[in-house]
Amino acid sequence: MDTSKNLSQVIRDRMKQDNKRFWAGDNISDYVDDNVKPELISEATAAFERVLDTLLIDRETDPNSKGTARRLAKMYYNEIMAGRYDPAPDATAFPNDSADRYEGMLVVRSELRSMCSHHHQPVSGVAYIGIIAAEKLIGLSKYTRIAQWCARRGTLQEELANDIAREIAKATGAKDLGVYIQAVHGCCENRGIMAHSSLTQTTVLKGAFKTDPGTKKEFMDNIKLQQEFAPR
């Protein structure tokens, strides 16, 4: 190993060599595990210290800014971007292939907390995930775990809807599915247009959700019913 390089450089080089994409919304858990995280957090702490210095914030005497660099480094790795570094949540599947198998639609509402990759501003909202049950079923809480795992990265809402659809399809084997996300963006609220009530909606439809108007209507009606109970 080249000792003149720090750990994050070594890992970046390895990903480039493997042609592994490492955009803000990509999962790179094959390259980062719990053994290397403490060193990466230390490196990020030093880098955030330099950012605070350049912002002319006195982190030596301001008691509130003293530990900020390390808090930021830990928050990025362990919380707001954890979905980049953690492997996919374990979603044990149960067979749904007996004579009395469930063939209906299932719609799960999942709270989402994410961050826009352009400005690193918070995104908060809710995803409605609908599937027509296939040969496997997963526990209801797993839908939210998968959605959160996709959300806790730097994302765009359009990209996030696609990511959730792909990962739910992988975990359930469902070909017919829909993902509808409604979210407010810190980007719009805290900067630029300062719009406090702007809401963004994105919809991804696959299989029957896309081709069969009846299925699509049932999904949208389910969302409206859910919203009556938990308005957003």
Question: Is residue 129 within 8 Å of residue 177, measured between CB atoms?
Answer: yes
- Scan residues 163-202 and list those touching Zn ion (CB under 5 A): 187
For Zn ion, give the closer residue by CB, 157 or 172.
157
For Zn ion, give the closer residue by CB, 157 or 222.
157
Closest approach, Cβ 123 to Zn ion, in A, equals 8
Closest approach, Cβ 165 to Zn ion, in A, equals 22
DSSP assignment of 109-158, as one string? EEEEEEEETTT--EEEEEEEEEEE--SEEE-HHHHHHHHHHHHSSEE-HH
Give dist(CA 32, CA 86) in Å, integer: 8
- Scan residues 24-53 and list those touching Zn ion (CB under 5 A): none
State yes or no: residue 70 binds Zn ion (CB under 5 A).
Answer: no
Bridge-based pairing state of the strands 154-155 and 105-116:
parallel
Question: Is residue 76 within 8 Å of residue 44, measured between CB atoms?
Answer: yes
Size of the site for Zn ion (CB under 5 A): 4
Give dist(CA 88, CA 117) in Å, integer: 20
For Zn ion, give the closer residue by CB, 119 or 166.
119
For Zn ion, give the closer residue by CB, 122 or 207.
122
Give dist(CA 132, CA 104) in Å, integer: 6
Instruction: Mark residues 100-119: x for contact with Zn ion by CB under 5 A, - for none.
Output: ----------------x-xx
Closest approach, Cβ 187 to Zn ion, in A, equals 3
Residue ranges binding Zn ion (CB under 5 A):
116, 118-119, 187
